[in-house]
Amino acid sequence: MMSQPWVFQMFVLMGQVRRVGMPEEARKLALSVDQIEFSAEVIRQGQEQGIFHEGDPRLLSTMFWATVQGIMEEMAVDESMEAPDPAWIVAMLKNDR
């Protein structure tokens, strides 16, 4: 991401275009990929293996992606902001046992 700063703006754009009131064709396209559900399935599998802690996989996925979205939006606004360590973000999901 640091070598391709347009990625931050893409997260901002995709976050905005999914909202009601945006052009319907663009909104449908943005909503056509259900990253939350895809990631929820990965989390479900990780829970079965003891990698991720217990909890609603869809809610955990939403939390994860909302965090990523927020970080990307902040980095799009503040060019001096350093990217957080990805391990910090993944740690929200990991089972600490």
Query: Hey, what amino acid is at 27?
Result: R
pLDDT of residue 5: 66
pTM over 0.85, yes/no: no
Question: Is the pLDDT at 82 greater than 80, yes or no?
Answer: yes
Letter string b/e over residues 53-82, b meaning 16 or more CB atoms within 10 A of that residue's CB: eeeebeebbbebeeeeeebbbebbeeeeee
Ordered alpha helix ranges (H), 32-94: 35-48, 57-77, 86-90
Question: Each residue of 33-70: pLDDT tens digit?
Answer: 788 899 999 999 999 999 999 999 999 999 998 998 88
Domain ranges of the chain: 6-90
